[in-house]
Every structure is written in C-alpha cells, then in structure tokens.
Chain A
Amino acid sequence: MSRNPIASFANDSDEVVRFDDVSMRYGRGPDVLRDLSFSLAPGTFHFLTGPSGAGKSSLLKLIYLAAQPSKGLIHLFGHDVAHARPQARPELRRRIGVVFQDLLLLDHMSAFDNAALPLRISGAKPTEYRADVAELLNWVGLGGHMHAMPPTLAGGEKQRLAIARAVVNRPQVLLADEPTSNVDHEMALRIYRLFVELNRLGTTILIATHDQDLVARSGRPSMHLEGGRIKLRPPQGPALS
C-alpha cells in the first residue's frame, strides 16, 4: 500500500498520527472521507481547512477515537487503533487533548474543576495538580474566574477554558475544532498565540478552522479537505510574530 507523498509530514519512525487509505462514512451514507493517507510528526503545527461538510470534524473524531473508519488503518503513537485492546483506548485518548467545536464544558463544575478533569480521570491526587491547574488558568487569563461556572463565562472565556482542559494533561497531540469560531478577531489571535506557545513546548497541533485569514497569516502548513480527499498546502507567508 502506498501513501500519498504530498500529505506525508513525518518520518515513519516518529509519527504520532498516521492514516493509511482511511475512508469513513456515517451509516449507509456516502464516504465523508475517502482513502486518506497522511501522517503527523511530533511537534508539528498544521491547520485543517475545507468547506463546511468537507469532513474536518469527522477526521478529528477519527484521531480522538470518537469514530471508527469504514476502511483503512489508523496508527496513533505507533499503535494500530483497530487492533488495540479496548483497555488501551482510554490510555491513547489521554495522550490527545481536544478542544471540541461545541466546547463540551461541564456546567455543574466550576472552571477549576473543568480544567482539572483530565488529571482527575487519570488518577492524579488533588495535591499533585492543584497548583498546576491554577497556574494554567492564570496563563489562559482565567485566574479571576476559577470558581465561575461555565454558563456564567463569556464566549472567549469558555474557549480558553476548553483549551486549558485540553492541555492540562500535557498531551502529545492537541486537536482543536473551530476554536476561534465564536470569538472576535483579537480573541482569535490570542487563542492562536496560545497554540503556538504550546507547540513550542513540543505539542503536535492540528486545528480545524474556516478562518482562512488566520491560516494565511500564521505561516503554517495546512491540510485542505475537499470532496473527501486531502491536499497539503504549504505555508502562505511568513509566520505571525
């Protein structure tokens, strides 16, 4: 089986995500994704672009194991997902941070509890992470809202809280689905800079977005999805400072 050389962004030895001829459909519908082959190396930063309905969210779902391919093989951190033991899947998910399109914050928990959730799930003791969570929330500008419940937060604050929850466990891969869709341009840039900072710390970033302006100004490569197929687009200019 040959992989599309255009869409290969990593060496086989160190890729964190690899798709081999992956297709996906919902029920008996047509393929949403068709024969995708690509891989992502650790520490890379990519945008995922494409028109509405192109399958960006579906592709992300395949990576964070919320959906299954109808064909092809997906490898995460070197593990063949289809043949991984069911018990291994939660462990793989913990290595991936996700900023969901609809954020999926838990309304019955405070901002601090929401941000600390992945650490609690991984079994860490509160004494081990309390200070780290507080520091992270300060870093994303929510230091004054730690005890606020999500329904009382503004759109941008919710976005940043979702990002804090996605990165608190220091994931190896961060997936963000339209993280700037509900914020103004200035907030979008602030969020983008957050991702850049995380990327500098070594996290592989993949951001699905409609914001072509942001992609163009970022100086980052993008994967463009259209008609169920993927194409690599090189950086369109120098990176934002």
Chain B
Amino acid sequence: MSEMFDPARWRPAPFLPAQETRDGALVFVVAVLCFLACVTALGVIAADRAASGWTRQLSAEATVIVRPRPGETPDSAAAKAAEALAGVNGVTEARALEPQKAYDLVRPWLGDVADVEDLPVPRLVAVSLDARAPATAHALETALKAQGLDAIVDDHSLWLKDVRRSAGVARGMGTVVFLLIAGAAAAVIAFATRAGLAAQRDVVEVLHLTGAEDSFIARLFQLRFARVAAVAGLIGAGGAILSGAILRLLGGSQGLTPALPIAWADLVAVLPCPLLAAAVAAIAARLTAGALIREMQ
C-alpha cells in the first residue's frame, strides 16, 4: 500500500477520462481547418484593401482626350482644355500632358515608326479631382463644351465598376469559403462528439442513472470539445499569422503581389479564431450530445 489517502486534500476527478488518443487527430484536423479559414480571411482583407486602393486612385482622377479643331494646334487645344478644366468645382489640378506621353501611349499599337510625331495624335489632359467632392464627368464636359473644345472625358467609371465588382466577388467568395470551412469544422466536431459519446457510453450511462441531467452530460462534452477546438484554433491562427508575417517580410507592404497587399494590422484579424472555433465546437458538440443522450434513453 502506498501513501495514506487524505480526504481533506482530495480533488474531484474529471467526469470524463482526461485524454483520448483520438484528441490529437481531432486537434490536427480542426487546426488545419482553422488555418485555412484564417488564410481565407487574410486573403479577403488583402483583396479588399487592394480594391479600395485602386478605387480611390481611379475615382480621384479623370483623363480628357482633346482633338484639335481645324486651325488649332494640338498643344494649344490641350492648354485651353486644361485651363477650362482647372476652373471647374471639384478639380484640384488639370495638366496637359507632354506630347511625348501621347506618343508613348500609341507607340505599342503602331510599332517603333520614326515619324509618329507627324501623326494627328490627340493630346491628353490629366485631371486630379477633389477626393471629398469630385467634379462629375458631366461638369467637365460642360466646361469643355463652353470653350468650344472637341474632347472626350474618361472618368474611369468603366474601370471603377469592374474593380468594385471584382472586390465584391472576392469578398463573397471569401465569405462562402469561410462559412464552408466553419461548417466542415462543425461537422468534424459533431462526428468527434458522436464517437466520444459512443466511447464513453458507460460513463454517460452511469452519470445518467445516478441522476445527472441531460444538459449536465451534454455540457461535459461541450466543454471538452470547445477546449480541443480552442487549442486547434490557436494553432491554426498561429500558423496563419506566421504565414502572413513571412509574406509581409518577403514582399513588404505589397505582400507577394500588388493584388494582395498585407498590412501588419491585418494579422490581428485572425486573433478571434480560437474563440470562434471554440464557439462552433461548443454548439456542434452540445447539439450532437443532446440528441444522442435523448436517443440513449
């Protein structure tokens, strides 16, 4: 016989066996799911930031193409247009681009021909708009018409629409993937709860027959799997933070590509992952355990 038993120093044992061999596999699977969910979340945040940047940039600028009327030189027409546009409300700056810029823009379509300067290439006016109250395309066109100028205003609305739509699709797909992963995690936990209950059927039966309420027993499994999922969530989130940090360090503020710029602050977004994983697991385990205990009666 070993040491004397001292009831005063006794601490109650857990109602369920402390550790199961399958817990390790469960932690791995849920950690992988959490990692994927976190990476998805980081991807959505990065894509959103890229889209916002592009949108901001595009909506702050407009380009005006000026065609000289008979008797007008391209340069004088462009200068006249810049002067007219500078006076419009919501325009911060209007600047006629050098002819070389226009030649550079058409050169890829024409090839490296020597006499490109002799062609009637229209001049461009770059317009910077007030970010808070930008001038509309209509206001710019009205100002140009008032000066009798033959010009086309490109306010980038076509591009803006595409960028916004792309950002929306990326956000939507990210959310769907995130929900699918959360659903998969819940299903895994539900299976694990079912297996856990089957493995602990004797324990459940004894607790039940000694007067434990269904909710009491379900809570045991709920706490157990919430703890497992929280640990897995911590590992998954840790992995995602590490991956994000490596991308940030390797690629700077643009991450690995300008389409997915990563900021250090983005990494904070995955911190709730362990709590979310625990909550999903707790709900899945509670519902599964409750249903199974009712079945066992």
Contact = CB atoms under 8 A, between A and B. Distances in A.
A104 B7 contact: no
- In this complex, the interface size class of chain A, counting residues with CB under 8 Å from chain B, is 20 to 34
B264 interface: no
B21 to A, nearest CB: 14
B226 to A, nearest CB: 20
A126 B211 contact: no
Given A104-B205, A146-B5, A93 B10 contact: no
A66 to B, nearest CB: 6
A83 interface: no
Contact of A121 (B10, B11, B14, B210): B210
B18 interface: yes
B206 interface: yes
A108 B211 contact: no
Contacts of A121: 207, 210-212, 216
A113 B12 contact: yes
Interface in A133-156: 133-134, 144, 146-147
A133 B7 contact: yes
Interface in B13-31: 13-18
Among B13, B16, B210, B213, the most chain A Cβ lie within 10 Å of the Cβ of B210
Contacts of A110: 13
A26 to B, nearest CB: 15
A113 B16 CA distance: 12
Nearest to B207: A121
Contacts of B5: 112, 134, 146-147
Interface string A61-101: 00010100000000000000000001100110110001010
Interface in B197-212: 202-203, 205-212
A108 B13 contact: yes
B110 interface: no
Contact of A109 (B13, B209, B216): B13
Interface string B185-225: 00000000000000000110111111111101000000000
B238 to A, nearest CB: 31
A98 B13 contact: no
A68 B208 CA distance: 15
A105 to B, nearest CB: 8
A91 B211 contact: yes
B146 interface: no
Given A93-B209, A98-B210, A113-B13, 11 more contacts: A86-B214, A104-B205, A104-B209, A106-B203, A109-B13, A112-B7, A121-B216, A126-B10, A130-B10, A133-B7, A169-B211
